[in-house]
Amino acid sequence: MNTRQLLIITLCCSLGLHYSVAQADWRDWLNLGSDKESTTTETTQDSSSTTLSNSDVIGGLKQALQKATDYAVSNLGAENGFLHNQRVKIPMPGALQKVESTLRTLGASRYADEFVETMNHAAEKAVVKAKPLFTKAVTEMTIEDGMKILKGGDNAATEYFRSKTESDLSQQMLPITQEMTNKSGVTASYKAMMDKLGFARSLVGEQNVDLDQYVTGKAVDGLFLMVAEQEKLIRKDPVAQTTNLLKKVFGSL
């Protein structure tokens, strides 16, 4: 083989190699473009599936609060709902703790216990009667910073709800509590407890306690505590997300 022939063969091989490389590069470029397009499409689809509108967020938060409020009222409004739940049980008012201590020293603990029981029974009845107030407050609530609440702490919606409604709820609930304290015998039990002190009554002095206000405040505290616990559960546990909207809103977190 002479020099000319060798040169021709080398040139042909070189051209063939460049052609193969060009084909490979072209195929790779086509595949890469396809992958990019596919990835973009998938990202867009994922993004659109988790996009929440303002109405979704507000509706989901209201639904969660309604569900949590229903749970709280049904549990606290059951027989001994306050009394047998140490987290919300209404204790002796602070101003009367000296009275309680004296009664127990005198062996008359029963009167202190009966008084505490009547307050707790009044609260459970008041909560049930006041349920429409809580429902109305939830459904009429306007949440301008819904996304902030949604991505807030475990009880962010409850705290927002409480800050906006607690004062009005307490005022509207007070007459209901007054009715229930009368029916439950709170005032009569208080009088019996104080009378039982006898000579020791002068030692503890007269205590002016607004029992209706006290029971109302403790009942509202108990309610919001239970609502907060349920909100946390709804946020964390898919099983508690019992509607499609709850799944969509809280599942996005």
Per-residue pLDDT tens digits for 181-227: 999 999 999 999 989 988 777 766 666 789 999 999 999 999 999 99
How high is the pLDDT of residue 76? Answer: 97
Say whether both 213 and 126 belong to one domain.
Answer: yes
Question: Pick from 36, 51, 66: which residue ends a domain?
Answer: 51
Say whether both 208 and 228 belong to one domain.
Answer: yes
- At 57, list the tokens: 């967020």
Say whether both 158 and 92 belong to one domain.
Answer: yes
SS3 content of the chain, % helix, strand, coil (to 5): 80, 0, 20
Q: Confidence class of residue 20 from pLDDT cuts 50, 70 and 90?
A: very low
Say whether both 92 and 47 belong to one domain.
Answer: no
Q: CA dihedral defined by 125, 127, 128, 133, rounded to 10 degrees? A: 140
Say whether both 4 and 63 belong to one domain.
Answer: no
pLDDT value at 24 more than 80? no
Higher pLDDT, 135 or 74: 74
How high is the pLDDT of residue 29? Answer: 36
Q: How far apart are CA 91 and CA 215, in angstroms?
A: 10
Question: Pick from 12, 29, 51: which residue ends a domain?
Answer: 51
Name the residue range of residue 242's domain.
Answer: 55-251
44 burial (CB, 10 Å; 0-12 / 13-18 / 19+) is exposed
Say whether both 123 and 40 belong to one domain.
Answer: no
How high is the pLDDT of residue 212? Answer: 95
- At 48, list the tokens: 């659109």
Say whether both 132 and 30 belong to one domain.
Answer: no
In terms of pTM, does the model score above 0.85? Answer: no
Closest alpha carbon to 178 in 122, 132, 115, 221: 122
Say whether both 24 and 73 belong to one domain.
Answer: no
Say whether both 106 and 5 belong to one domain.
Answer: no
What value does the mean pLDDT of the chain take?
Answer: 81
Say whether both 26 and 92 belong to one domain.
Answer: no
Measure the CA angle with vertex 84, ends 78 and 90; round to 5°: 95
Say whether both 37 and 62 belong to one domain.
Answer: no
How high is the pLDDT of residue 251? Answer: 86
Domain tally, the chain? 2
